[in-house]
Chains A and B, each alone.
Chain A
């Protein structure tokens, strides 16, 4: 039965339940137990933000601490996936992709195609992303567009505890390589999550709020910012926004986006990533190409600026898109007068 747990607990619960269900599921990453070889506790951290806490003792031999060697252990997860395991490897911050990307985009992503359909690589790479923790330029980025670009990868960004559990369950059961993005500012968010296992299919966007006036397409943490903006707009201006959480950027649920824009005629895309070659531009292009006739106003994009993520509170707060900017964009499209 559903009860309220946090996003962090939902991820942990999905890992526990899948490890119980399938003994080929293993977990590996830096400090995933924490304290390997050290004199103190051997489940000291459970991941740098405690997401994998408790697994180490529950599943002896299946929760592996690693050296700080992303190339080696992400690659090892990929290799193990070809050999009958279902590894869930943690790339602590997605910003660290730079030291292991080859193993993801040249190896895991391409095996099946390169090898003529003969490989199955059911690996999950969990990774943290996003700004808001004053973690500055190398620990705060939203790099999912880079992964979305690569054929052969699936890219998942849960926005709620419910989605986190269901999408991670699906990711582990999925037979393709999945990059699972966890927004670090969402870990403490609470929400209803069934105790039982369930898998949410990929490629199904979630309409988190219905509305007839403007379509807001968003993902990850920005779902909540967009919902705040939509609630304010409904109360203050009577503008009804339909808010669509993409949930997965690869595969992409284009139909839900297009159907909504066909109905509303107005699109605002809200994305915490940088503006160039992003999900925002991708969705904009999709709608411009396939729902041009329905558009009653130019598409608006609300994104972070084309700058690295700044450190100072004063700067990071204006870097991250907020409800006011979203509301302004919605007003721009509703107020458009050719």
Chain B
């Protein structure tokens, strides 16, 4: 193992940032869940709650040179990449002040200036794109790494499998993060993923594949740290499978009659925020008061985001025709 890329350990500030990220995602999603039920939020909304450790664990290893591509369940990745939360909320409400001026919605929040190549309404849409951003980083010599998040459903798409192959053939600085939350819509991954473990497919593409407890921030962070360092050093792509479950349905409104009781078990026993808080307070790295302060800060942030979103103007008819092309 080479050591040309520094594996720095997490400082107190890092841990606070990580907790803030995961708490912000959780609060954001719980709030969207509640607001959706009131009927104020249009369209399809897919919530990330339960999976926070993956977004935070991976993105806490990234910097300005790096790019991620996300999924339809993309709020967590956006927040972990630093996309403005108020603009995200406004976008979900379809407001002109939203990240995409109300033209994208929940499934298309993006901020290329933050290395966030977009949530994506197409399952398996992201992996080919990050092959491209990784290629650009490689050709331009920026040292940037690109990360594709996709789900167990996306893992079965030809686009994803082709991208794993291409990334290996071109030896791209890429990391493929399979977020296996157990269900593609209603369909169990134990049924739909023939290799059962998504990570097992990595061997077929000549890259390492590892399974990580997706509820454990430290496990996710460490695996991502190694994979990203390897990619930065020119070692090529890695496939990481995060195993966990989502706390909400496929989309808001899903009655989830296909599920058993795993959510209450996960919330009670496995929850990433709870585990993280327990761990860092046990080790004394952070105090309960530190965490409470972050909780309060995040609650205020989300409250303000919702209030601002509700009060924000809607796009106008003139906005309908703009930004189709740079120039036409």
Contact = CB atoms under 8 A, between A and B. Distances in A.
Contact of A120 (B129, B140, B322, B326): B326
Most buried by B among A66, A110, A175: A110
Interface residues of B, number: 49
B170 A64 contact: yes
Nearest to A203: B328
Interface stretch (B97-105, B250-258, B276-284): B97-105
Nearest to A103: B128
Interface in B93-116: 98-104, 108, 110-113
Most buried by A among B67, B98, B128: B128
B58 to A, nearest CB: 18
B110 A114 contact: yes
B158 A82 contact: no
Contact of A116 (B100, B127, B165, B166): B100
Nearest to A66: B166
Interface stretch (A3-11, A71-79, A310-318): A71-79
A78 B158 CA distance: 17
Interface stretch (A83-91, A133-141, A192-200, A281-289): A83-91
A117 interface: yes
Interface in B110-137: 110-113, 117-118, 120-122, 125, 127-137
Contacts of A176: 325-328
A78 B327 CA distance: 18
Interface in A154-177: 154, 174-176
B165 A107 contact: no
A21 to B, nearest CB: 17
B114 to A, nearest CB: 10
A116 B117 contact: no
A309 to B, nearest CB: 26
B132 A83 contact: yes
A80 B135 contact: yes
B132 A119 contact: no
Contacts of A84: 136, 140
Contacts of B134: 79
A75 B326 contact: no
Contact of B125 (A62, A83, A106, A112): A106
A23 B101 CA distance: 33
A117 B129 contact: no
Contacts of A61: 139
B325 A112 contact: yes
Contact of B132 (A79, A151, A251): A79
A81 interface: yes
B323 A72 contact: no
B169 interface: yes
A66 B140 CA distance: 19
B162 interface: yes
A175 B139 CA distance: 20
B189 to A, nearest CB: 22
Contacts of A67: 162, 165-166, 169
Contacts of A102: 122, 125, 159
Query: Interface residue tally of chain A, by bracket?
Result: 35 or more
A160 to B, nearest CB: 24
A251 B328 CA distance: 6
A328 interface: no
Contact of B101 (A74, A117, A152): A117
Contact of B129 (A69, A76, A115, A151): A76
A326 interface: no
B194 interface: no
Most buried by B among A71, A77, A85, A151: A71
A83 B69 CA distance: 12
A72 B328 contact: no
A210 to B, nearest CB: 28
A72 B135 contact: no
B101 A80 contact: no
A117 B108 CA distance: 12
Interface string A4-27: 000000000000000000001010
A336 interface: no
25 contacts: A24-B140, A73-B131, A75-B129, A75-B131, A76-B166, A78-B132, A79-B117, A79-B136, A80-B136, A81-B132, A82-B112, A83-B133, A83-B137, A84-B140, A85-B140, A103-B125, A106-B121, A107-B120, A111-B110, A112-B324, A114-B110, A114-B118, A116-B99, A118-B112, A154-B328
4 smallest beta-carbon distances between A and B, as pairs: A75-B128, A79-B132, A116-B100, A79-B129
Given A117-B101, A152-B324, A174-B327, 16 more contacts: A61-B139, A64-B170, A67-B166, A69-B166, A71-B128, A72-B128, A73-B166, A75-B127, A75-B131, A82-B112, A99-B158, A107-B120, A119-B112, A119-B118, A154-B325, A176-B327
Interface of B: 67, 69, 98-104, 108, 110-113, 117-118, 120-122, 125, 127-137, 139-140, 146, 158-159, 162-163, 165-166, 169-170, 322-328
